[in-house]
Amino acid sequence: MTQPRIPGRRFLHSPGPTPIPEAVLHAMSQQPMDLGDPRVDANLAACEAGLERLLNAPQADVFIYATNGHGAWEAVVENVADVGATVLVAGTGHFSESWALQTEALGRKVLRTPWVEGQPIDNDAIEQMLREDTAHRIQAVFAVHTDTASGVTSDMAAVRRALDAAGHPALLVADVVASAGAVAFDMPALGVDVALGASQKGLMCAPGLGWVAVNERAFALAMANSAPRYYWSWPLRRSELSYRKYCGTPPQNLLFGLEAALGLLFDEGLGAVFTRHALLAGAVHAAVEGWATAGALGFFAQRPSARSVSVTTVTVPPGTDVDALREVARERFQVAMAGGLGPLFGRAFRIGHLGDCNPAMILGALGGIEAALRVQGLPVGDGVGRAVAYLAQPPVASVVARTAA
């Protein structure tokens, strides 16, 4: 690596990849095995069972790919819609638009609901567009649960209600890349037909895995779909043979890590994991509120209840050099954060607070960011002090309530 080493541990607060726990790194460091070794099958089964448990979806088919989140999107597109078919993408900002463009590039037609900056999914628009589709040409509704660019989490139950209200048979596909492992997500209770995710965010793994969980209705649609495909094909991957399941050699070391990471989540307890995420998000929000008192910074996500527990998008004044700010934060204060994406490029920075994170890590990150903001001359009120005070409070009712939801 040509860049100088940063002394001490770097604070990784991009919203993905996230810090990988020691136990996961050690699991990844085990030697791979010959594909005939029954330990390989045991590992694959544990990964599938763990993801099913995370989604409370023991009946789902789980397919894990050597790929990333964009690959998981592609897997969904290739299986739920034939070439030339139509899907409806719910507008959430940068990531919904990226998914829509990828879907179009793969030869499918895309309808979009409008997106208002700082707002979650427009469920009324979904309902209306589905009602208008009397021929039921729309095969599926694609909805990003937490848009990593905007830091907004939409209400997936409300999306489901929109489909139901319209009486439309389209599949509901939820992208939980940025929310899985950070908030409760009960796939059957939410009426989600396909959930898709990746390894490098709330799942605390190295990037390199994408996955889908598919219910029976969605799998049946995939079976009926004659679109040419192979690597992504769910029907081909529904097999007992590891070589078929993964269309070739499975990415064993990443899967060793995934098994270990899921084990850490279950050992901590999913409830405790989600409470922790809500608590840490609260600390970040407290700091942003403190910074905002100086008039320069603010929340991009307008509705407090829609602010993600995974990532917070903070707006900056026009003319701010966000890249320079990030560089100071990273190189002088060892805090790696993210910039604004797509329409938010140059208008915001983003703090990831998901995955294997704890109060001291969040306080260190907020402190380092606050120092960088000061160095760059951005006026800030007391942020990290507010976060300390927030964390020192007795556990707040709102945290518990959000977590139980």
The footprint of a copy of itself on residues 293-332 (CB under 8 A) is 323, 326, 330, 332
Binding segment for a copy of itself (CB under 8 A), chosen from 35-43, 53-61, 123-131, 178-186, is 35-43
CB closer to a copy of itself, 189 vs 396: 396
Q: Kindly state whether residue 215 participates in binding a copy of itself, applying the rule CB under 8 A.
A: no
Q: Are 306 and 316 in contact (CB under 8 A)?
A: no
Among 100, 126, 159, 361, binds a copy of itself (CB under 8 A): 361
Least separation, in Å, of the C-beta of 292 and a copy of itself? 16
Q: Please compute, for residue 364, the number of CA atoms within 13 A of its CA located in the half-sphere on the CB side.
A: 16
CB closer to a copy of itself, 166 vs 203: 203
Q: Please compute, for residue 203, the number of CA atoms within 13 A of its CA located in the half-sphere on the CB side.
A: 31
Q: Kindly state whether residue 28 participates in binding a copy of itself, applying the rule CB under 8 A.
A: yes
Report residue 43 as tokens: 């590992």
Site for a copy of itself in 386-405 (CB under 8 A): 387-389, 391-392
CB closer to a copy of itself, 78 vs 193: 78
Helix axes 359-375, 270-292, angle to 10 degrees: 20
* Phi-psi sector, 152: left (phi>0), alpha (psi -120 to 50), beta: beta
Among 14, 113, 139, 225, binds a copy of itself (CB under 8 A): 14
CB closer to a copy of itself, 135 vs 230: 230
Report residue 200 as tokens: 């490098």
Q: Kindly state whether residue 69 participates in binding a copy of itself, applying the rule CB under 8 A.
A: yes
Site for a copy of itself in 233-272 (CB under 8 A): 233, 246-254, 264, 267-268
What are the start-end ranges of the H helices in 88-122? 94-105
Burial 364-400 (b: 16+ CB within 10 A, else e): bbbbbbbbbbeebebebbebbbbbbebbeeeeeeebe
CA–CA distance, 226 with 212 (Å, rounded to integer): 19
Total residues interacting with a copy of itself, rule: CB under 8 A: 111
Cβ neighbours of residue 63 closer than 8 Å, sequence gap 6 or more: 75, 211, 212, 214, 234, 237, 238, 245
CB closer to a copy of itself, 123 vs 403: 403
In the shown chain, the binding pattern of residues 84 to 103 toward a copy of itself, with x for contact by CB under 8 A and - for none, equals ------------------x-
Site for a copy of itself in 133-172 (CB under 8 A): none
Among 165, 292, 371, 400, binds a copy of itself (CB under 8 A): 371
CB closer to a copy of itself, 151 vs 367: 367
Binding segment for a copy of itself (CB under 8 A), chosen from 67-75, 118-126, 153-161, 307-315, is 67-75
Among 310, 358, 399, 400, binds a copy of itself (CB under 8 A): 358
Q: What is the DSSP string of 342-405?
A: GGGTTTEEEEE--SS--HHHHHHHHHHHHHHHHHTT------HHHHHHHHHS---HHHHHHHH-
Among 85, 203, 338, 344, binds a copy of itself (CB under 8 A): 338
Q: Kindly state whether residue 114 participates in binding a copy of itself, applying the rule CB under 8 A.
A: no
Least separation, in Å, of the C-beta of 147 and a copy of itself? 15
CB closer to a copy of itself, 88 vs 363: 363
Least separation, in Å, of the C-beta of 237 and a copy of itself? 11
Question: From the centroid of its chain, how far is CA 143?
Answer: 12
CB closer to a copy of itself, 159 vs 206: 206
9 residue type, one letter:
R
Nearest to 198 by CA among 12, 18, 389, 402: 18
What HEC string does 233-251 produce?
A: CHHHHCCCCHHHHCCCCCC
Report residue 115 as tokens: 């997106």
In the block, residue with structure tokens 């409830």: 271
Least separation, in Å, of the C-beta of 146 and a copy of itself? 16
Nearest to 265 by CA among 185, 341, 333: 185
Binding segment for a copy of itself (CB under 8 A), chosen from 19-27, 122-130, 131-139, 160-168, is 19-27
Q: Kindly state whether residue 223 participates in binding a copy of itself, applying the rule CB under 8 A.
A: no
